[in-house]
Amino acid sequence: MPESDHTGAVLTIDLNAIVANWLLLRGMLAGAECAAVVKADAYGLGADRVAPALARAGCKTFFVAHVGEGVAVRRVLPNATIHVLNGPVPGSGKTLIDHQLVPVLNSLGDIESWGDLARTHGAPLTADVHIDTGMARLGLPPDETETLIREPERLDGIKLTFLMSHLACADEADHPLNHQQLTDFLRVRQPFKDVHASFANSSGIFLGPEYHFDLARPGVALYGVGPRPGETNPMAQVVRLQGKILQVRDVDRPQTVGYGASHRVVRRGRVATVGVGYADGYLRSLSNSGNGYIEDIRVPIVGRVSMDLITLDVSDVPVDAACPGALVDLIGPHNPVDTVAAEAGTIGYEILTGLGSRYHRVYLDSAD
Amino acid sequence: MPESDHTGAVLTIDLNAIVANWLLLRGMLAGAECAAVVKADAYGLGADRVAPALARAGCKTFFVAHVGEGVAVRRVLPNATIHVLNGPVPGSGKTLIDHQLVPVLNSLGDIESWGDLARTHGAPLTADVHIDTGMARLGLPPDETETLIREPERLDGIKLTFLMSHLACADEADHPLNHQQLTDFLRVRQPFKDVHASFANSSGIFLGPEYHFDLARPGVALYGVGPRPGETNPMAQVVRLQGKILQVRDVDRPQTVGYGASHRVVRRGRVATVGVGYADGYLRSLSNSGNGYIEDIRVPIVGRVSMDLITLDVSDVPVDAACPGALVDLIGPHNPVDTVAAEAGTIGYEILTGLGSRYHRVYLDSAD
């Protein structure tokens, strides 16, 4: 990781807040276990730090997307249960077994190849089965599900841990697809009554207990993103991104700022340049639309976001507070992840997973 | 780097093409030296591989943004000249000197602190001076430039390598700001006649020899992005991104695909799921707008790009060619970086610098 003095910004990640969020979600689940999704390097925040912090708080079950991610989490959590959502891609069988990773079987083809491997292995192999109830992305489609129900012997050699499905519109509480997916999942589950079931993601937990089943799989809410857009966000904020001012200039003549001359100066004022750009995941769509804060004073982005730099209008900030070396909140108390996402025309998830590798990262952890 | 079998995609980076692009640009420069900009980890492609390949081809001068990047490039290029565009941020002086990095001084404040350091150091320290002629981002603003011309003793102790400026609209050949910036730079340069000058970025090279001065600093064109939008791209393509199909499903009933149910199936067909998402830098703005290719058949993105997955309509592809394990060109011969960028509503630079860390990376290098 780059040293603080050699970088354009400091990214502070509050592991205590992640743990608090996990405990809050766990508290909403009466009988169900609360897992944690740590795919995409724990949504950009560092799975090697996030997963152990959650494990210390009592989390026993983790989900990743890729086999390689599972191997990385296994390195820091020798005893946890780790599920691999994208399943047993060709060539990954030995790695999954060696690292005791539980693949999610997403098709009859997956089931067949995992069963074949179990027979070669000479002992049952654990796995989940993912039933698609409306995402049309991963999971057994309806015809394959019916085949599996008719021919349960296809699961011979496989020790089934969870029957799973995934909600497409859980963040819209009133979307009719939620209840339709629930109904479909309940129906498919009938023949698998003695198998545990997992259905809810972060937003799904908030849809009510009938969505909880045996295991919930929250991801984004752990990292501070609001699980119910448009409503008050109950999650603690996890991320603070502070960009460093490199230079401040007076703008007092008719001129433009940045590439494409997209911002025209209309009043006498000051522009600060900060060493963060779209190469750091500060999306280019924040050009002329994002906002930073110095203390509680808003400093709007002026001009285009460039690769390594942004320019902000600091005219309203006292000169001493907007000087080279001073820090600007690019994500912070006044502009949390969801706000920045809205300004960029996207969702908090993409802001988090885009957080770049050039930041100096600081972890807040009461265990330290 | 993740192994190929454990990842969702293979990213192939053609170092020979980067070298060919550098040689093409160098050939356009009569008297001027051709440097290479390798900031942002060589625009996302790996500075530790790109910089040595260019050095072997004859490139002697490199530019990075941050001090930390300069330290990383110094590790692989012990003898190159390395300039740090974002300048001597507070606390970085010793590192700059220890690694023989040349900071770009962007303000009178930078000049003062670097001069102070030279006096403490007891020997002249090299640096560039960056004159702002229209970006209003980094560089001495007009009033500071006038002060420096009046008081050249401010540079005492500093061995000035290049007087620099940066074009704001070089990719629009007819933009009036180009000529205005050139005129301003020529005027400022008068009192510094014996100092070398550097002005042109990739697109600036194409504006003609009066923009070349002593050193050109191409970046993005080295990596295959067209320096003149709207015209034929003379640069060789450098990047190929091939996503792996995880699953293919028949869609033959009224249904929706993906989060938010944003894509409604209108014809009987097949949807392939590929293990690449916005956490890999495949921007979410490509939802329902991007296109992959299998061989030369277009396979449009259907539904939203999710964190680790995309879904593509492969109805037009023979069944055998769109099966689990098959590769889809997400960036390739039929959809180069600039095309993907246009579909995402951004520029090629952001597509390149966003290329994620979960890909299996393959470098093509005739030196291997």
Segment B73-90, tens digit of pLDDT: 999 999 999 999 999 988
Query: What pLDDT shows up at residue B193?
Result: 86
- What is the least distance, in Å, from the CA of B155 to any CA of chain A? 19
Query: What pLDDT shows up at residue B230?
Result: 87
Residues A32-55 have a mean pLDDT of 98
From the list B39, B244, B293, B359, the catalytic residue is B39
Which residue in the set A177, A285, A307 is minimally distant from B39, CB to CB?
A307
> How does residue A1 score in pLDDT terms, banded at 50, 70 and 90?
very low
- What is the least distance, in Å, from the CA of B125 to any CA of chain A? 19
Residues B309-318 have a mean pLDDT of 96
A134 versus B36: the higher-pLDDT residue is: B36
pLDDT one-digit tens code per residue, A284-297 = 999 999 999 999 99
pLDDT at B264 over 90: no
pLDDT at A368 over 80: no
Q: Looking at the DSSP assignment, which residues form a beta bridge with residue A326?
A: none
pLDDT at A230 over 80: yes
Q: Which own/partner pairs from A184-193 qualify as long-range (CB within 8 Å, at least 24 positions apart)?
A: A184/A133, A184/A134, A185/A131, A185/A133, A188/A131, A188/A133, A188/A145, A188/A149, A188/A163, A189/A163, A191/A149, A191/A152, A192/A160, A192/A163
* CATH class (in words) of the domain with range A239-335: mainly beta
pLDDT at B253 over 80: no
Residue A258: list chain B partners with CB under 8 A.
135-137, 168
Which residue in the set A90, A136, A311 is minimally distant from B325, CB to CB?
A90
The encoded tokens of residue A213 equal 């089943």
Active site residue A278: no
Q: How many residues does chain B have?
A: 368
Residue B278: list chain A partners with CB under 8 A.
349-350, 353-354
Q: What is the DSSP string of A99-126?
A: TTEEEEE-SHHHHHHHHHHHHHHTS-EE
From the list B94, B259, B282, B293, the catalytic residue is B259
User: Is there a contact between B279 and A69 if contact means CB atoms under 8 Å apart?
Assistant: no
Residue B43: list chain A partners with CB under 8 A.
279, 307
- What is the least distance, in Å, from the CA of B146 to any CA of chain A? 14
Residues A318-326 have a mean pLDDT of 94
Amino acid at B100: Q
Query: What pLDDT shows up at residue A25?
Result: 98
Strands B360-364 vs B9-14: parallel, antiparallel or unpaired: parallel
What is the count of residue pairs from A and B with beta carbons less than 8 Å apart?
249
- What is the least distance, in Å, from the CA of A21 to any CA of chain B? 21
- Residues B267, B272, B276, B281: is their CA dihedral positive or negative? negative
pLDDT at B1 over 60: no
Residue A177: list chain B partners with CB under 8 A.
256, 261
Residue B135: list chain A partners with CB under 8 A.
257-259
Q: What are phi and psi of B314, to 5 degrees?
A: -105, 25
Instruction: Give the angle A106-A108-A111 at the CA atoms, nearest 5°.
Output: 75
For A253, nearest residue in chain B (alpha carbons): B142
Which residue in the set B3, B110, B324 is minimally distant from A68, CB to CB?
B3
Percent of chain B at pLDDT > 90 equals 89
Query: What pLDDT shows up at residue B258?
Result: 81
For A275, nearest residue in chain B (alpha carbons): B86
DSSP-H helix ranges across chain A: 15-28, 39-43, 47-57, 67-76, 93-98, 108-121, 142-150, 176-189, 202-205, 337-344, 348-354
Query: Domain ranges in chain B?
Result: 15-223, 239-346
Residue B279: list chain A partners with CB under 8 A.
39-41, 43-44, 353
Residues B236-261 have a mean pLDDT of 89
User: Is there a contact between A261 and B134 if contact means CB atoms under 8 Å apart?
Assistant: yes
State whether residue B101 is helix, strand or coil.
strand
Query: Are B203 and B171 a contacting pair, CB within 8 Å?
Result: yes
Q: What are phi and psi of B287, to 5 degrees?
A: -50, 130
Query: What pLDDT shows up at residue B367?
Result: 75
State whether residue B270 is helix, strand or coil.
strand
- With respect to CATH, is domain A15-223 assigned 3.50.50.60? no
Residue B89: list chain A partners with CB under 8 A.
5-6, 244, 246, 275, 324-325
Query: Are A54 and A35 a contacting pair, CB within 8 Å?
Result: no
The encoded tokens of residue A31 equal 């009988």
pLDDT one-digit tens code per residue, B211-230 = 999 999 999 999 999 999 88
pLDDT one-digit tens code per residue, A77-135 = 999 999 999 999 888 999 999 999 999 999 999 999 999 999 999 999 999 999 999 98
pLDDT at A333 over 90: yes
- With respect to CATH, is domain B239-346 assigned 3.40.50.2300? no
Instruction: Assess: ipTM above 0.90.
Output: yes
From the list A39, A211, A293, A359, the catalytic residue is A39
Amino acid at B105: L
Query: Are B22 and B50 a contacting pair, CB within 8 Å?
Result: no
Which residue in the set A142, A177, A278 is minimally distant from B350, CB to CB?
A278
Rg of chain B on CA atoms, in Å? 24
Query: What pLDDT shows up at residue B298?
Result: 98
User: Is there a contact between A325 and B90 if contact means CB atoms under 8 Å apart?
Assistant: yes
Which residue in the set B95, B143, B279 is minimally distant from A353, CB to CB?
B279
DSSP for residue A359:
S
User: Is there a contact between A68 and B6 if contact means CB atoms under 8 Å apart?
Assistant: yes
The string over B51-63, giving b where at least 16 C-beta atoms fall within 10 Å of a residue's C-beta and e elsewhere, is bbbbbebebebbb
> How does residue B2 score in pLDDT terms, banded at 50, 70 and 90?
low
Residues B152-159 have a mean pLDDT of 96
Query: What pLDDT shows up at residue B262?
Result: 79
A354 versus B267: the higher-pLDDT residue is: A354
Active site residue A39: yes
